[in-house]
Amino acid sequence: MEMQRGTKCHDGWLAIIIVVGILVIDQIVKIMVKTNMSLRESIFITDWFQINFIENNGMAYGMTFLNKVVLSVFRIIASGFIGYYIYKLVHLKHRTCYVVMLSMVLAGAIGNLFDSMFYGLIFTESTPYTVSQFVPFGTGYAPFLMGKVVDMFYFPLIITTWPDWVPVWGGDEFIFFSPVFNFADASISVGVVLLLLFCRKDLESFTVVLFHGTKWEKNAKGINAEKEKKENA
């Protein structure tokens, strides 16, 4: 019992450390880019990697298909659900790797949410001609929840041209990988991919753990105990 409690406590702190660590890295990179580069300015690192400062109103990798306020509220609700789920999970039987991957997704979601919540309140607007600066809280370029998300990582791994015989895109430039993203986006993507690869069975219990928690674990233990009795009989 003491070992189990120690594991629960350990994984709870591990989740906090992962979330805080990713948030700190994400915000340091974003603030450095925003306060030292003008909008759409690029820094060439290699042929396949550039720092390209852009801002967007949308989700990961610049996707935009929801109203800004709706998207921000959705992020708050989603982050709250994931955070509460991790809290419930670490008090039940679980795998540490599952907690780690969920924490990566949570940290990424909070990282981009932080931009939307506060960047409009504490920064001047970035433009192609001016570099953003810190301003007194509440005097920035946008109200609460309306700040723009900062992106900067650009990996044009392959730059070529579609063959002329290809319908629609023939003769057009083709770039792989074209989206510009940030550290929070990468954390979400890596976390989701790892969850789908290694924790699909864990994900099946998401709603059960979220809404039933300890009751579900007791029922599972009872079922396992009955199976053991039958096997030993």
Identify the residue with better confidence: 164 or 45.
45
Domain extent listing, the chain: 10-220
Q: How far apart, in whole angstroms, are the C-alpha atoms of residue 216 and residue 208?
A: 7
Which of 4-13, 110-119, 142-151, 178-187 shows the lowest mean pLDDT across its residues?
4-13
**Mean pLDDT over each residue of the chain, to the nearest integer:** 86
What number is the average pLDDT over the span 159-171?
A: 87
Active site residues: 151, 185
Rounded distance, CA 111 to CA 187, Å?
10
DSSP letter (8 states) at residue 153? E
Q: What is the pLDDT of residue 3?
A: 38
Number of C-beta neighbours around residue 167 at 10 A = 6
pTM for the model stands at 0.83
Q: What is the mean pLDDT of residues 202-222?
A: 66
Provide, for the chain, the percentages of residues in helix, strand and coil under a 3-state DSSP scheme, each rounded to the nearest 5.
55, 15, 30
Residues counted in the chain? 233
90-109, pLDDT tens digit by residue?
988 889 999 999 999 999 99
pLDDT of residue 233: 54
